[in-house]
Amino acid sequence: LRDVTKQRAFERVRSEFILRASHELRTPITGMHMAFSLLRERLSLPAGGREQELMRTVDEEMHRLVQLIDDLLNFSRYQNGVQTLRRSPCDLAELVQQTPQRFADQAAEREVAMVCEVHDALPRLNIDVVQLERLLDNLTDNALRYSNPGDKVRLGVRRHGEQVIVSVQDEGEGIPFEQQTRIFEPFVQVGRRKGGVGLGLALAREIVQLHGGQLGVQSRPGEGAKFYFSLPV
């Protein structure tokens, strides 16, 4: 037996702090980003100069900061039980097929091909479209980040009994066996290519579980990784 009272208390305090801090930070950071975007439009800078590159760098980093705060806020809402689903009938196959379009520029920059495979006719599911889109974006962004030039990222969706299975597979470095049980924990990162604070997969798991499904991974070191989640019909 192990007393986890202090650990649970610490996790609760940490979660509450993240929720409050993220909420307080979001408004000023978003305002700064909007003000900077307006300033950038009005400034006249020499084309190809150092100033243009610096402005682009600041814009990208501020965008990353806004995204990070959004991830922290969303994850904290799930952890504190205040996130609810706005369900509506949805064609999941169409939702999956739209994902590569949102990542077309990122995939082209990394020289990675994206393939989408839909197996069989699928029923319309009663899901939260915004949350499922966020889930697919997290998994796809993760797959692209760990892909090499010339690789493929495959998105698939199929029905298996009373479940619909969605998968996102890359051909990257894979995940060591001993780390596969930890990758869905918050603030945990594995592999050499890091980004963010390790909340993407933790948030993905929360979204799937709130829909009544399960999130898992299949991977061998050096052979890529396949993340998949199930949703009840």
Confidence band of 190 (pLDDT split at 50, 70, 90): low
Provide, for the chain, the percentages of residues in helix, strand and coil under a 3-state DSSP scheme, each rounded to the nearest 5: 50, 20, 30
Give 208's Cβ-side CA count (13 Å radius): 25
pLDDT higher than 70, residue 162: yes
Mean per-residue pLDDT, 101-107: 91
Q: Are 101 and 107 in contact (CB under 8 A)?
A: no
Confidence band for 181, pLDDT divided at 50, 70 and 90: confident
Residues 6+ apart with CB under 8 A from 112: 144, 147, 148, 149, 150, 151, 152, 153
pLDDT tens sequence across 18-39: 777 777 888 888 888 888 888 8
Q: Where are the beta strands (DSSP E) in the chain?
A: 88-90, 113-118, 125-127, 152-160, 163-169, 214-219, 225-232
Quick one: which H or E segment has residue 59? helix 50-79
Q: pLDDT exceeding 70 applies to what percent of the chain?
A: 95
The answer to whether 58 touches 93, Cβ cutoff 8 Å, is no
Mean pLDDT calculated for residue range 171-192: 78
The pLDDT of residue 197 is above 60: no
In the structure, what pLDDT confidence band is assigned to residue 156 with cuts at 50, 70 and 90?
Answer: very high
Q: Please list, in sequence order, all residues whose beta carbon lies within 8 angstroms of the beta carbon of residue 11, skipping any fewer than 6 positions away.
A: none
Chain-wide mean pLDDT for the chain?
Answer: 85
- Average pLDDT score over residue span 110-120: 90
Please give the single-letter amino acid code of residue 203. Answer: L
Res. 227 pLDDT band, cuts 50 70 90 = very high
Neighbours of 200 (CB within 10 A): 24
| pLDDT-based confidence at residue 189 (cuts at 50, 70, 90) | low
pLDDT at position 194 over 70 = no
| Mean pLDDT, residues 208-229 taken together | 92
Whether 84 shows a pLDDT value over 70: the answer reads: yes
**Residue 214: pLDDT above 70?**
yes
φ, ψ for residue 130 (rounded to 5)?
-65, -45
Judge whether residue 160 has pLDDT over 80.
yes
Mean pLDDT of 71-75: 78
Q: What is residue 63's predicted lDDT score, i.e. its pLDDT?
A: 80
- Report pLDDT for 231: 94
Across 213-223, average pLDDT? 91
What predicted TM-score, i.e. pTM, was given to this entire model? 0.74
Kindly state the average pLDDT of the residues 153-161. Answer: 93
Helix (H, G, I), strand (E, B) or coil at 124: coil
Q: Would you state the pLDDT for residue 82?
A: 72
